[in-house]
Amino acid sequence: MAVTTAQSGRAATVKSGISAAVADALIAAVIAMLLALPILTYKSVEQQTSLEVVSRWPWVLVGVAAVFIGRLALNLIWPRLGGASDGLARLGTVLARLFERVGGWRTAIGALLGLTLAASSAGWLATSRWLDLLLIVPLVIGVWRRSPAWLFLGLALFFPFAPGATRYYVENFGILVLIYVMLGWGLNVVVGLAGLLDLGYVAFYAVGAYAYALLAQHFGLSFWICLPLAGILAAFWGVILGFPVLRLRGDYLAIVTLAFGEIIRIVLINWQSLTGGPNGISGIPRPTLFGLEFKAEGGFADYFGLEHTSLHRIIFLYYIILAMALATNWATIRLRRLPVGRAWEALREDEIACRSLGINITNTKLTAFSIGAMFGGFAGAFFATKQGFISPESFTFWESAIILAIVVLGGMGSQVGVAVAALVMIGGTELFRDLEIYRMLVFGAAMVAVMVWRPRGVVSGRVPTIALGATRRIGSDLVKEGHG
């Protein structure tokens, strides 16, 4: 059906005749009708004593009419719009060239630095001038090194002290986004670099979270001891899973990893004696700052002579996850430039050629899988300590899907792209919470838009890991996605 519409859609543009456009719109309307009949026509309404079926024929008519008119309008306007989008693309190139002419990132970040300094001296930024340095120092480095990454780092460092950053925003926006940035970067190793499609990444997140929760509960170990242990355990499970399944490719690998994610969750639900089953584990200890707890008396606030507020703990958590995410990023960037990282990317490009060059494919895939899993485990341990309570409900397939969507939309293999995608997807859904159920609609539309205009993600292509001369970006048309 979709093929028919697409074909007749193309026919309509070719002929650009009104009759073809109407015919195409009619087909679309028929499809809409077929879809609307079972979905929209009848609704069960709860009465006081019984359920009653209410018919909603006008809804169907309105829906079908809307599709007809919309499709007709699209058919008539789209060809002309094609010119407009060409114009937009040209405008984009002109702007990019202008940006280069003006001086690129150095000037742009420099201008921001100037504004920041002005705002700081006027006292519009953080409560203390010293805190403004969190933004100013990275911006200065950014100007020096002409890199927008420092701009993002500055904004991330300064965020908890930014004017208007309340406890709610730091916790539900800042920390949440950073957890997903970290998960995205972790999965990026597996999916983006090694090209292995992993649909069960949340399993490792769960292993990390439960590892910390159980170790803390049963052995009284602190967060800082459990954090590496959680990572190691998750990596261990990555190897356990990876060993039998990595001989599978593509769709088969995806299905098995999907099943693994579900197995872990179902084990967590059913192994009541250890995991508490669906009730989860509560009372997970909070992290301490060199032994200082964040409590009303005798804790962090007392030690530094500050007034106690719960915001301290939140800001502390924010910086922990920021540091963890940055460490993930650092490790990934570094791994990419090492033989193992190059082998991952080579594996994504051509597995057979790798074998002919003496690369042990199983081991290389296993390292990608376990290192990705380790980052997931770290994030899981942080999630457990941040929530103080975990249950299997937090580790459903939905989480895996979101993390994968972040990696794919961001541009597989791109660190900056993944961070931007996490910010937009997770931050966006939090910011649009007021839209209630429609935010999912916005979310879906945004994803469709990205897939239409940037099918290989926000930041596509890749930068070579080593160069004799100047580093040039390699276009996404040449970079492969891997076959699992």
Phi, psi (5° rounding) for residue 17? -90, 155
Hey, what are 457's tokens?
A: 């993600």
User: Contact between 480 and another protein (CB under 8 A)?
Assistant: yes
Stretch that binds another protein, among 56-64, 173-181, 273-281, 356-364 (CB under 8 A): 356-364
User: Contact between 335 and another protein (CB under 8 A)?
Assistant: yes
Distance of CA 318 to the CA centre of its chain: 17
User: Contact between 334 and another protein (CB under 8 A)?
Assistant: yes
Of 22-51, binders to another protein (CB under 8 A) are none
What is the CB neighbour count within 10 angstroms for residue 119? 14
What is the nearest approach in angstroms of another protein to the Cβ of residue 418? 18
What is the nearest approach in angstroms of another protein to the Cβ of residue 305? 39
- Helix, strand, coil in percent for the chain, rounding step 5: 75, 5, 20
The smaller minimum CB distance to another protein, of residues 261 and 482, is found at: 482
User: Contact between 354 and another protein (CB under 8 A)?
Assistant: yes
The strand pairing partners of 45, in sequence order, are 52
User: Contact between 190 and another protein (CB under 8 A)?
Assistant: no
Residue 180: which residues within 8 A CB-CB, separation 6 or more? 402, 403, 406, 422, 425, 426
User: Contact between 193 and another protein (CB under 8 A)?
Assistant: no
Q: Which helix (H) or strand (E) holds 54?
A: strand 51-55
How many residues of this chain bind another protein (CB under 8 A)?
Answer: 38
The Cα-based distances of 97 to 90, 100, 104, 106, 168 in angstroms read 11, 5, 9, 15, 41
User: Contact between 349 and another protein (CB under 8 A)?
Assistant: yes
User: Contact between 278 and another protein (CB under 8 A)?
Assistant: no
Stretch that binds another protein, among 52-60, 145-153, 185-193, 350-358 (CB under 8 A): 350-358
The smaller minimum CB distance to another protein, of residues 28 and 234, is found at: 234
- Sign for the pseudo-dihedral over CA of 135, 465, 410, 248: negative
Identified binder of another protein from the candidate list 24, 198, 262, 345, rule CB under 8 A: 345
The smaller minimum CB distance to another protein, of residues 90 and 480, is found at: 480
Stretch that binds another protein, among 112-120, 271-279, 311-319, 359-367 (CB under 8 A): 359-367
Phi, psi (5° rounding) for residue 350? -160, 105
Rounded to 5°, angle at Cα 339 from 337 and 340:
95
The smaller minimum CB distance to another protein, of residues 3 and 352, is found at: 352
Of 363-382, binders to another protein (CB under 8 A) are 367
Which amino acid is it at 314? I
Collapsing DSSP to helix, strand or coil, 429 comes out as helix
| Per-residue x/- track, 440-479, another protein (CB under 8 A) | ----------------------x-xxxxxxxxx-xx--xx
What is the nearest approach in angstroms of another protein to the Cβ of residue 158? 29
What is the nearest approach in angstroms of another protein to the Cβ of residue 336? 10
User: Contact between 340 and another protein (CB under 8 A)?
Assistant: yes
- As a whole number of angstroms, the distance between CA 266 and CA 199 comes to 16
What is the nearest approach in angstroms of another protein to the Cβ of residue 475? 7
User: Contact between 355 and another protein (CB under 8 A)?
Assistant: yes
The Cα-based distances of 195 to 187, 257, 299, 333, 397 in angstroms read 10, 14, 47, 16, 20
- As a whole number of angstroms, the distance between CA 218 and CA 215 comes to 5
CA-based nearest residue to 407, from 465, 349, 450 = 450
Phi, psi (5° rounding) for residue 119? -65, -35
Identified binder of another protein from the candidate list 232, 359, 431, 447, rule CB under 8 A: 359
What is the nearest approach in angstroms of another protein to the Cβ of residue 352? 6
Stretch that binds another protein, among 130-138, 234-242, 271-279, 360-368 (CB under 8 A): 360-368
Stretch that binds another protein, among 60-68, 226-234, 305-313, 332-340 (CB under 8 A): 332-340
User: Contact between 360 and another protein (CB under 8 A)?
Assistant: yes
- As a whole number of angstroms, the distance between CA 14 and CA 26 comes to 18
Matching residue, tokens 């292995």? 196
Which residues contact another protein (rule: CB under 8 A)? 331, 334-335, 338-340, 342-343, 345-346, 349-350, 352-361, 367, 462, 464-472, 474-475, 478-480
